[in-house]
Structure 1
Amino acid sequence: MARSTNTQFAVAVHVLTYLAGAAGRPVSSGELSESTKVNPVHVRRVLGPLRNAGLVRSRPGVHGGWELATDARDITLAEIWRLLQGADPVLGLHGPDPACATGRTVQNALTALDRTIADAITTQLEDVTVHDVLTGRANATPQPPQPS
């Protein structure tokens, strides 16, 4: 099974959930790095957009670190997704030869499909908060709509 190389969303959800469980205690980048098993620089790169959006804040100094700047119940996974994914393609799109008719057709189809998939992902993530992840409520499988 192919794995995505962009782990920012997963790391962000992990970090925000960890901070939500830290009960207001500032958490160092090193501690977050150990928990996520990624480099502290990567953790800080993920935290940057979250800080710019007002979701986290950092305190300098010996007793400093990262903490949530807003309630975990108010942070949807869709917000995190939009911050980190932005308009980047969800599918692994490539740039085919512009002179290739097949390439243009495939690129147009996949670009439209990518937007549809991105919208569906965002819609699903709107219903899940960091608090839901922390409490295990995000593990529930959504039920398909019942026919009338």
Structure 2
Amino acid sequence: MSANSRLTIAAHALAWIGLYERQGYEVATSEQLASSANTNPVVIRRLLGELRRAGLVESRRGAGAGWSMARELNAITLLDVYEAVEQGPLFALHRATPDQSCAIGCNIQPVMQDIYAGIEKTLRHELSRITMEDVLRDILATPR
């Protein structure tokens, strides 16, 4: 199983655009962001499209095309980013219903569902406490 990096790449893109704008630039291109994140520009464009639908970034077409922040970094939490790019629950249950005549199989799903609900509630609470401004500040304070 591989870990999902969508939240990390989306946060990377937002921090990059936010810093780029502070340096006096108006828009960032998906190619610039892809280079920084070492991924394909298509991956960046898809994530930015989701961030745009959530009202976190804006796009400009034509001459001077690119992406810019729709809100200040201090007005965007990691929960906002998470909700923009992550679909579905954090954890999944069995794909097929377990054996209901088995002592474990008949109760594993409701037990795990309750555990996962608690974990997701904690995750959401923690993500809501961290702004993209916090993320950028910590990135810039970390030695290279």
> What band does the TM-score fall into relative to the shorter chain?
0.7 to 0.9
Question: Structure 1, unaligned stretches of length 5 or more?
Answer: 140-148
Deviation at 1:63, TM superposition (A): 1.8
| TM-score normalised per structure 1 | 0.81
Q: Please tell me the residue identity of whatever aligns with 2:94.
A: H
Give the Å deviation of 1:76.
0.4
Matched residue, 1:89: 89
Aligned partner of 2:89: which letter?
Answer: P
| Deviation larger for 50-59 or 90-99 | 90-99
Q: Could you list the runs of 5+ residues in structure 2 that have no partner in the other structure?
A: none
Deviation at 1:98, TM superposition (A): 4.5
Contact 1:96–1:103 under 8 Å retained in 2: no
1:56 equivalenced with 2:57 (yes/no): yes
* Structure 1 consecutive aligned stretches of length 4 or more whose deviation exceeds 6 Å: none
The counterpart of 1:21, out of the listed 16, 19, 22, is 19
Name the TM-score, length of structure 2 as normaliser.
0.83
Measure the CA separation in 1 of the matches of 2:36 and 2:128: 25
Answer yes or no: is 1:71 the counterpart of 2:72.
Answer: yes
Q: What residue number does 1:144 align with? A: none
Residue of structure 1 equivalent to 2:8: 10
Find the aligned partners of 1:123 and 1:14 in 2 and give their Cα distance: 21
CA separation in 2, counterparts of 1:45 and 1:111?
30
Is the CA contact (8 Å cut-off) linking 1:13 and 1:80 kept in structure 2?
Answer: yes
CA distance 1:94–1:42, shift in 2 (3 Å): farther
**Offset, 1:119:** 0.9
User: What do you get for the CA RMSD once the two structures are aligned?
Assistant: 2.0
Cross-structure match for 1:122: 124
Counterparts of 2:68 and 2:46 in 1: how far apart (Å)?
Answer: 15
Matches of 2:106 and 2:15 in 1, distance apart? Answer: 42
Whole-Å Cα distance in 2 between the matches of residues 47 and 121 of structure 1?
23
| Aligned residues with identical type, % of pairs | 30
Matched, 1:132 2:130: no
Q: Can you list the C-alpha shifts for 1:95-134, whole angstroms capped at 9, x where unaligned?
A: 2434434334212222221111111011011111111111
